[in-house]
Amino acid sequence: MSERLCLFSYWRSSAAYRVRIGLNLKGLSYEIAPVHLLRDGGEQHSEQFRQHNPQQLVPVLQHGHRMLRQSLSILEYLDEMWPEPALLPATARDRQRVRALAQLVACDIHPLNNLRVLQYFERDWGVPQPERDVWVRHWMVEGFAAFEALLQDHPSTGAFCDGHMPTIADCCLIPQIYNARRFSIDLSPYPTLLRIEESCQALPAFDAARPERQPDAPGA
């Protein structure tokens, strides 16, 4: 009997969204354990959840008795445990490119706009909401401009970020585009990103991972 997979997730967490896409692309069955990031000050801060992740962040993927943390690390774990379909290209050069694109989102854009950063701005520095939104938009626009430049006219760019199969780069890009729309960012300057988004969202694996389709989404 295969070991149970359970994803500790929040419907609107872009990091958890990445992992949902990866699990779906692999065709894996998994349960969702919702962790509400706002209710009662944030369920991720509870003592019970801290035992799963001392960082108090989602996602956490439980595979049998193992607790796996950090979305990119989880995606690579899935690729090593279930190699087909691959989430990384075959050659070292292409794998480096895909990892760099994924990290552009996961390491450079997302951390600056994460919930805990925005809550710190509000709680400790008293930064008003409009100014927090300007911060979010600035770093997303900077990141998307770089992402577009890296994809546009590159010979490895295909229907997806790399060729004609989705990779971890697409797993990271699509949730970040979702976040951009939440903050009303004009995406028209990034036609390559929008074309790739269309390719991704046509796949059932991406469609099923959408935030509004999650069991803990409002109205679900």
- Going across the sheet that includes 60-63, the strands are 31-34, 5-9, 60-63, 66-69
Picking from 69, 66, 65, the residue whose alpha carbon sits closest to that of residue 56 is 69
pLDDT tens for each residue of 75-110: 999 999 999 999 999 999 999 999 999 999 999 999
**How many residues can be counted in the chain?**
220
Contact (Cβ atoms closer than 8 angstroms) between residue 156 and residue 163: yes
So what's the pLDDT on residue 88?
A: 98
Q: Quick one: tokens of 201?
A: 């969202």
Contact (Cβ atoms closer than 8 angstroms) between residue 87 and residue 28: no
pLDDT tens for each residue of 67-77: 999 999 999 99
Phi–psi pair at 5, nearest 5 degrees: -110, 130
CA distance 11 to 22: 15
Q: Does residue 1 carry a pLDDT above 50?
A: no
Give the domains, in start order, of the chain with CATH numbers: 7-85 (3.40.30.10), 92-206 (1.20.1050.10)
% the chain with pLDDT above 70: 100
**Model's pTM, two decimal places?**
0.97
Residue 1 vs residue 104, higher pLDDT: 104
